[in-house]
């Protein structure tokens, strides 16, 4: 836990401190934003949904664009700018007085949030290697979950006061926290001079000394294995819509009290904080990463069945089944995430780390945009049948991801064997 929240490595420490402030702001925003948009700005729910939907589409484009930019100017430059502009956009929400301004601000905020995620992945991909890379990513996810939870607790004060001034203060704190999150990022290049050269495809000094054009890596869009990995893991990532939309709406249809929503969220945070780092061990190996995704997807399928069964019991049975489903869901989540990170890092061409991680983040952004619609159209509208369909979808995608990883690992092993034989022949 000490290494998780206060790493010895200078780069990991700066990223972790920034993540703390970023996640704390996210917890506050998630808690008060809907009420702020409707009660303070005065927008109706349909307008808010439409505006955020448009912003989600912009965020999908920004995810890949930030990766492309990270390869050219360096992820260490993209990230502080993205976080800072995101903070300014959050502050601008307090000036949004109509639907148009709200939508424009939302587009900037979501785009910069997507760019932040992509540039962070690109930094991890270029600065770390092997098991350390996945381990640092796992520890940051623990930090994110814990501080989002703390942000939710802090935001409860605004909910208790329940005035326009309280909600405005909460939104201002979101922007300020994001500006604070830029501080360790801005100071990082000076503290670690070697970081700048590691963050771009080829250091500028080397480019200026070469007569021949620099050979760039392939586009991730032309890498069929990587695209297949992104699609499979993106489908598995649809499960996040269960937590934010599906489960709260489903609980309202069962005999369980609505307070179970908070109980399940806390339970998820505890499981992720306690087991995410452990679950990520070994997933730097492509084959094992695929196995982790497959196991996680089948656990998610089992969770869907348990959620469905909770709709048939009395209050005690429903609560027990919901807790069981939440635990299985959390275990599937941490395995799926750990395996997904391993595949995203290890299947990528290191010459185009930003573009490859940008494509991965684009897949997650698409999943985040589609998951609320998918979950409500299946589990919420059709009950048990819908839950079974969702479970089958997760299991199929996870199994396909494992097949992609196994094929990629087999090709690498074959290529290594050929190189060994060729080297032996030349030596003889």
Sequential pLDDT tens for the chain (428 residues): 777 888 888 998 999 999 999 999 988 888 788 788 888 888 887 788 788 888 888 988 999 899 889 888 888 999 999 999 999 999 999 888 888 999 999 999 999 999 999 999 889 988 888 888 888 888 998 999 889 888 888 888 888 888 889 889 999 999 999 999 999 999 888 888 888 888 876 544 443 444 444 456 678 888 999 999 999 999 999 988 887 778 888 888 888 887 788 788 888 888 988 888 888 888 889 999 999 999 999 999 999 999 999 999 889 999 999 999 999 999 999 999 999 999 999 998 888 888 899 999 899 888 888 888 888 888 888 989 999 999 999 999 999 999 999 999 988 776 555 545 454 554 54
Q: Can you give the pLDDT at residue 417?
A: 52
Classify the phi-psi angles of 160: left when phi > 0, otherwise alpha if psi is within -120 to 50, otherwise beta: alpha
Q: Can you give the pLDDT at residue 158?
A: 84
- Among candidates 41, 38, 86, which has minimal Cα distance to 59? 86
Q: Can you give the pLDDT at residue 208?
A: 42
CA 113 – CA 304 distance, rounded (Å): 29
**Exposed e or buried b for every residue in 186-214, given b needs 16+ CB within 10 A?**
bebbeebeebbebbbbeeeeeeeeeeeee
CA 307 – CA 318 distance, rounded (Å): 9
Q: Can you give the pLDDT at residue 392?
A: 96
Contact 109, 86 (CB under 8 A): yes
Contacts of 415 (CB under 8 A, 6+ apart): none
Which domains, ranges and CATH numbers included, belong to the chain? 7-202 (1.20.1250.20), 217-417 (1.20.1250.20)
Q: Can you give the pLDDT at residue 116?
A: 93
Which helix (DSSP H) or strand (DSSP E) does residue 241 occupy?
helix 240-241
Contact 78, 119 (CB under 8 A): yes
């Amino acid at each position: 836990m000490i290494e998780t929240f206060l790493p010895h490595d200078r780069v990991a420490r700066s990223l972790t401190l920034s993540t703390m402030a970023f996640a704390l702001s996210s917890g506050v925003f998630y808690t008060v934003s809907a009420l702020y948009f409707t009660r303070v700005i005065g927008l109706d729910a349909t307008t808010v949904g439409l505006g955020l939907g448009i912003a989600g589409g912009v965020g999908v484009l920004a995810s890949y664009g930030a990766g492309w930019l990270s390869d050219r100017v360096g992820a260490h430059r993209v990230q502080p700018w993205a976080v800072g502009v995101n903070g300014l956009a959050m502050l601008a929400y307090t000036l949004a007085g109509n639907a148009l301004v709200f939508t424009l601000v939302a587009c900037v905020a979501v785009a910069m949030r997507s760019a932040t995620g992509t540039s962070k992945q690109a930094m991890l991909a270029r600065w770390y290697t092997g098991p350390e890379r996945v381990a640092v990513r796992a520890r940051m996810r623990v930090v994110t979950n814990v501080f989002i939870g703390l942000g939710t607790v802090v935001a409860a004060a605004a909910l208790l006061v329940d005035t326009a001034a309280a909600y405005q203060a909460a939104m201002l704190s979101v922007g300020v926290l994001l500006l604070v999150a830029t501080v360790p990022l801005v100071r990082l290049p000076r503290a670690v001079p070697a970081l700048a050269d590691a963050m771009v495809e080829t250091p500028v000094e080397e480019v200026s000394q070469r007569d021949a054009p620099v050979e760039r890596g392939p586009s991730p869009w032309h890498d069929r294995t990587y695209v297949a990995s992104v699609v499979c893991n993106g489908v598995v990532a649809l499960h996040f819509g269960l937590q934010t939309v599906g489960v709260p709406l489903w609980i309202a249809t069962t005999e369980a009290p609505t307070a179970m929503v908070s109980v399940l969220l806390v339970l998820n945070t505890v499981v992720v904080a306690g087991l995410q780092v452990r679950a990520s061990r070994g997933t730097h190996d492509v084959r094992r990463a695929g196995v982790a995704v497959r196991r996680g997807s089948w656990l998610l399928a089992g969770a869907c069945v348990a959620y469905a069964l909770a709709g048939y019991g009395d209050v005690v049975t429903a609560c027990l089944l919901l807790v069981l489903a939440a635990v299985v869901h959390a275990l599937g989540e941490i395995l799926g995430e750990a395996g997904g990170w391993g595949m995203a890092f290890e299947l990528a061409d290191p010459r185009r780390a930003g573009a490859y991680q940008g494509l991965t983040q684009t897949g997650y952004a698409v999943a985040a945009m589609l998951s609320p619609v998918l979950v409500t159209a299946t589990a919420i509208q059709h009950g048990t049948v819908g839950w079974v369909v969702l479970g089958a979808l997760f299991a199929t995608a996870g199994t396909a991801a494992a097949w992609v990883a196994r094929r990629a690992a087999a090709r690498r092993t074959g290529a290594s064997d050929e190189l060994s034989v060729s080297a032996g022949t030349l030596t003889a």
